[in-house]
Amino acid sequence: MNREITIRLADVAKSFGETKALKKCDFEAHAGEVHAIVGENGSGKSTMAKIMSGVLHPDSGTVSILGEKVNSPIDAKKIGLTTIFQEVLVADEASVFENLFVGRDGVFKSQSGGGDRRAEANEILTRLVGKSVDLDQMVGGLPLSIKQWIVIARAMLRRPRVLILDESSAALDLDSTIRLHEEIDRLRREGATVLIVTHRIAELVRIADRATILRDGVTVGTLQKHEITEENLLSMMTPPDRRASDVKEYASKNRAIAEVSVMTAKNMVAQRTSAPFDFDLPKGSIVGVAGLDGQGQDAFVRALVGIMRPFGGDVLVRSAETGKMVEIATLEDAASAGISYVSGDRKREGIFPQQSIFENLAIGVYRKNLGPMGIIRKPTLKPMFKREVDRLRIKIGSPSNKITSLSGGNQQKVLIGRAFANDPQVIVLNDPARGVDLGTKRDLYRELRAFVEKGGSVIYLSSEIEEFIGFADRVDVFFAGRLFRSLSGDHIAEEPILAAMFGKSENASVEFDLERSA
């Protein structure tokens, strides 16, 4: 294997005002390796990636990529470094084709590298997405996963010598992740250096050759492939004082599920052409929702909370007061029936970036505290805020600081707090742990468990199978736009869930090889 050192960071530090994002960062990566960067939310991974890409300049320390200094994305382009940033950067008003080749040329001159760009684009997109994509359509109307693919394809088309992926699999489903891994593997074989930032431990174990761990802006060590285990990672990522916790604190006690259902859907059609199905949510249970991307589970969850109308069928929920089933057609119906919704896409659907932490949490309950003329009764809000912050162990400074002063994970907790604060009877979560670190995830699981134990009910959509195991009471797997199979008890395990996700019958073995990409 080629052992040439392609990336070297020595003693790099970077602050944003008061915040020391990176304190002492030392890092090396070789040609021909996949090197993971791991750490809790806010530990500085993205900052590190941005410094290597030339987007940010370090305050001190040296950075050398392929022997060069990189001061801007233009420098990066010149030496063959490409970064896929954590945020999916596409231009909605431009065509797929334009999005793929943006930045490839000079200000005036075309950098014609020979070859037919369209053919090349077609080929790579077909390979990545798994089906062909119209290059001339506007990107704006495409689903997030396709946008993510476009960004990945844009990087791959440049045949990078160094590729950095910052949580690029977060918006991809399992099947897609495997295709991504194939690409990464190919690059590795061609001698490129690939850095991946991810919170998905399983993914990391599968593909990384080495992993460097960041803790509070300091690189605390590098693990070789055989050392990459959940325990090792956790013990290095978390500061010593936070380690001694009960990992299974949140675990399901495998209780029998109650008979009463709080929510039902009859003859629901989630996608325009798919078959109708029924759904019910038993009181006091956690129901997981799984499925490959675009199999209808997302539309289903949105229909449950009234964000969109299903193509057919009704959603009914048991009214907390009367005990009767009432229909949900709009967000207001859902809200007044005591259904709270938490989106995983917090940047777009969750936070109000210019507002304070307090406002971000409290805005969810204003509606319930209105006096005459829509005047908000404020006195009740402060205790509520304190309760939620304590409950979720949200790490905040002053409540009047802006929400953006929190790390992504803590922002997510504020949003979950917003959902809890309404005293809902059902919480619907749409991939809430996307890009959230392990510790935060566990806080979340524990609280949801506590919530159902007090009689609440939870619908939990996730793109990571691991999340369900030992946590969900039932997992509903979607395939071809409908609820394909409900799994419970011992069936809540990786193999059966995967099988269902691929539309296989219960006993068939899962054909594709998880280790194929390793």
Ligand X SMILES: Nc1ncnc2c1ncn2[C@@H]1O[C@H](COP(=O)(O)OP(=O)(O)OP(=O)(O)O)[C@@H](O)[C@H]1O
Contact residues toward ligand X (CB under 6 A) are 16, 19, 21, 39, 41-47, 86, 404-409, 411, 435-436
Q: Give the bridge partners for 195, in sequence order.
A: 35, 164
Question: Quick one: 313 or 409, whose CB is closer to ligand X?
Answer: 409
Residues 460, 464, 467, 469, CA torsion sign: positive
Site map 206..235 versus other proteins, x via CB under 8 A: ------------------------------
Rounded least distance, CB 373 to other proteins, Å: 7
| Amino acid identity for residue 30 in this structure | H
Question: Quick one: 14 or 45, whose CB is closer to Mg ion?
Answer: 45
- Residues with Cβ within 8 Å of residue 482, at least 6 apart in sequence: 270, 274, 275, 276, 277, 296
3 state DSSP class of 394: coil
Diameter of the chain by CA atoms? Answer: 73
State the binding partner of 422 from Mg ion, ligand X, other proteins, none, CB within 5 to 8 A by kind: none
Rounded least distance, CB 234 to ligand X, Å: 15
Question: Quick one: 145 or 274, whose CB is closer to ligand X?
Answer: 145
* 67 dihedral zone (left: phi>0; alpha: psi -120 to 50; beta): left
Question: Quick one: 84 or 269, whose CB is closer to Mg ion?
Answer: 84
Rounded least distance, CB 169 to ligand X, Å: 12
| Distance linking the first and last C-alpha atoms of the chain | 16
Site map 268..307 versus other proteins, x via CB under 8 A: ---------------------------------------x
Instruction: Please identify which residue in 250, 277, 279, 341 interacts with other proteins, judged by CB under 8 A.
Output: 341
3 state DSSP class of 332: helix
Residue 176, burial from CB neighbour count under 10 angstroms (0-12, 13-18, 19+)? buried
Please tell me whether residue 141 binds other proteins under the rule CB under 8 A: yes
Rounded least distance, CB 431 to ligand X, Å: 12
Positions in 80-109 near Mg ion (CB under 5 A)? 86
3 state DSSP class of 260: coil
Question: Quick one: 313 or 435, whose CB is closer to ligand X?
Answer: 435
Could you write out the three-class secondary structure of 208-252? CCEEEEEECCEEEEEEEHHHCCHHHHHHHHCCHHHCCCCCCCCCC
Rounded least distance, CB 347 to other proteins, Å: 8
Positions in 67-86 near other proteins (CB under 8 A)? 73-74, 76-77, 83, 85
Could you write out the three-class secondary structure of 288-303? EEEECCCCCHHHHHHH
Which residue in the shown chain puts its C-beta closest to ligand X? Answer: 408
DSSP at 402: B
Site map 33..72 versus Mg ion, x via CB under 5 A: ------------xx--------------------------
Cα angle for residues 359, 362, 364 (degrees, 5° grid):
115
| Amino acid identity for residue 221 in this structure | G
Tokens encoding 459: 């619908």
Q: Which stretch binds Mg ion (CB under 5 A): 213-221, 281-289, 401-409, 471-479?
A: 401-409
Please tell me whether residue 53 binds other proteins under the rule CB under 8 A: yes
Question: Quick one: 86 or 222, whose CB is closer to ligand X?
Answer: 86
Question: Quick one: 19 or 267, whose CB is closer to ligand X?
Answer: 19
Please tell me whether residue 395 binds other proteins under the rule CB under 8 A: yes
* 191 dihedral zone (left: phi>0; alpha: psi -120 to 50; beta): left
Q: Are 49 and 85 in contact (CB under 8 A)?
A: yes
Please tell me whether residue 399 binds other proteins under the rule CB under 8 A: yes
Q: What are phi and psi of 204, to 5 degrees?
A: -65, -45
Question: Quick one: 409 or 481, whose CB is closer to Mg ion?
Answer: 409
Rounded least distance, CB 254 to other proteins, Å: 24
Rounded least distance, CB 21 to ligand X, Å: 3
State the binding partner of 364 from ligand X, other proteins, Mg ion, none, CB within 5 to 8 A by kind: other proteins
Side-chain half-sphere CA neighbours of 235 within 13 A: 7
Query: Residue count at the site for other proteins (CB under 8 A)?
Result: 83
Say how far apart CA 82 and CA 78 lie, in whole Å.
10
Instruction: Please identify which residue in 18, 107, 115, 509 interacts with other proteins, judged by CB under 8 A.
Output: 107
Q: Are 299 and 271 in contact (CB under 8 A)?
A: yes
Give the residue among 160, 158, 176, 202 at the shortest CA–CA distance from 66: 160
Q: Are 460 and 429 in contact (CB under 8 A)?
A: yes
Q: Which stretch binds other proteins (CB under 8 A): 24-32, 289-297, 437-445, 475-483?
A: 437-445
State the binding partner of 44 from other proteins, Mg ion, ligand X, none, CB within 5 to 8 A by kind: ligand X
Kind plus residue range of the DSSP H or E element containing 494: helix 494-501
Please tell me whether residue 149 binds other proteins under the rule CB under 8 A: no
Question: Quick one: 470 or 503, whose CB is closer to other proteins?
Answer: 470
Tokens encoding 505: 């019958």
Please tell me whether residue 379 binds other proteins under the rule CB under 8 A: no
State the binding partner of 359 from Mg ion, other proteins, ligand X, none, CB within 5 to 8 A by kind: other proteins
Rounded least distance, CB 408 to Mg ion, Å: 4
Q: Which stretch binds Mg ion (CB under 5 A): 206-214, 228-236, 295-303, 405-413?
A: 405-413
Give the residue among 198, 88, 205 at the shortest CA–CA distance from 153: 88
- Residues with Cβ within 8 Å of residue 373, at least 6 apart in sequence: none
Question: Quick one: 368 or 504, whose CB is closer to other proteins?
Answer: 368
Please tell me whether residue 348 binds other proteins under the rule CB under 8 A: yes
